[in-house]
Structure 1
Amino acid sequence: MIAALVKPVLYSYFRSSCSWRVRIALALKGITYDQVPVNLLKDGGQQLAAEFQVVNPMQQVPALKIDGITLSQSDFGPRVPGLRVIDHLASEMKKMIQTGRGLEWSSCRQTAGLAIIEYLEETRPNPRLLPQDQKKRAQVRMISDHIVSGIQPLQNLAVLQRVGEKKLEWAQHYITNGFQALEQILKNTAGRYCVGDEVSMADLCLVPQVYNAERYKVDLAPYPTITRINKTLLELEAFQVSHPTKQPDTPAELRA
């Protein structure tokens, strides 16, 4: 009971899409919280500091202290430790450029980073982010997994830093591939939002990914369903207050 009365603490980076998903969920559910910025670039990456490793051993954001526990998320989990998986991705990128083929992503195991949102949904179910209807709930999870496991990890900061000068080409290639599939899925599931007419976990995943696509100058014209839903969602207060341009650690030149 005492733990539930303590204000949650979110360790976040303003531009992290994983962090943004959680900020949206907290805003939608009306949960007030304190925020501790973790700059992924400053001082070689504050997430690598020993004090943050105590919070999240994966040394990634976000992490949320809530109800007496700490929940953390990661973008992908390699079969081998350290940076070897990222080096593998960088090596595969060079081969992809030379041969024109796609990345053999099946050689890396992915772990969906939605544990925090799932916990919030189970402990604070209103408003719902997972539909009661079983089929729609499965569709929400399918779309969420497509984004957080199939698109976002491939343009994760740690990956792009290892790719080097080809990082823009890399990000564009895999976001485009992912969006081609996502557009087809959404044509079958969407109403006003990703699945029907209620905001769901899938929408929390979509908006940050579109933001990343825009950052990496991906042409969104071929994806009218994605762009329509994204525009509609950005009109909602929860998506606005959680936006990267409105965070405590947003640089002055990027503030809205």
Structure 2
Amino acid sequence: MHDISAGPVAGSSRYAFDNADEQGPRMLGLLAGILDGHSTSVLAGPHVRVGPGWRCLDVGPGAGSITGWLSERVGPDGEVTALDLQPDHVTAGGNVTVTRGDVRFIDLPKDYYDLIHFRLVLVHLSDPDRVLERVIRALAPGGRLVVSEWDVLSRQRWLLHATSEQAAAAFDAFQKALARVLRANGADLGWAARVPIAMLTCGLELVHSVAFSELATGGEPACLLHESNSLQLERQLVGTGLVTADQLTVLREAMWDPQTLAYSYQMFTTVGRRPDLGCQRTDR
């Protein structure tokens, strides 16, 4: 198993959400509930097919649910490295190594990984194209890069039914304020749609992208994520001047109301393959 140097931990990162916040574990659990089925279907599907013996790097593992899935999938002859600024919710052991570090600066082994997986990481960085180009060097020939990001620019289509005009207005105000907070923290909100072009520009082949969104009722994870985010970022959200504290209260009540219908943010998952130039990956 290859050890990677942690490098600078914090760097200039301004990730808007804090996994160490009291809402952190809940937020990560909600994300897993919304997205894990989609993620594992792609990772097990025909464009990736993670298998025994694979070397995997899971960047931004969150609650560690995909790290755990990969660990079982690659088996005892494979290895999984979970890399995060705050990897406190991921358990090391067996074929899983947990590394604290920043993907923008950490030293990664060249030509090593059969899979590098990102989910909701690069969108939060101001230079995702540069990071993508950097991590591709760590892919083994024939290795797959999988990047999953939310499109948070299509706000008009998310809320299908609200129980009142006030709830609908609160939802819209919250989403506008959240987008401004994310941008202020360096997020590139147009990144999700650019990922396929970025992969092709970096020389990857067989690039494939799929969109995922699911309708949720109040009380289900996709709705409760909005409530959790509004609690964690309340001060910043209100500080934008686009939403009030009273509106956030209305939003939270609506996200528990079973009559609320809202689509989850649309997730674009893109897969690219590093060309196999007849080279063999480096020995373990």
Q: What is the TM-score of this pair, normalised by structure 1?
A: 0.29
Structure (1/2) with the larger strand percentage: 2
Structure (1/2) with the larger helix percentage: 1
Q: What is the TM-score of this pair, normalised by structure 2?
A: 0.27
Which one has the largest radius of gyration?
Answer: 2
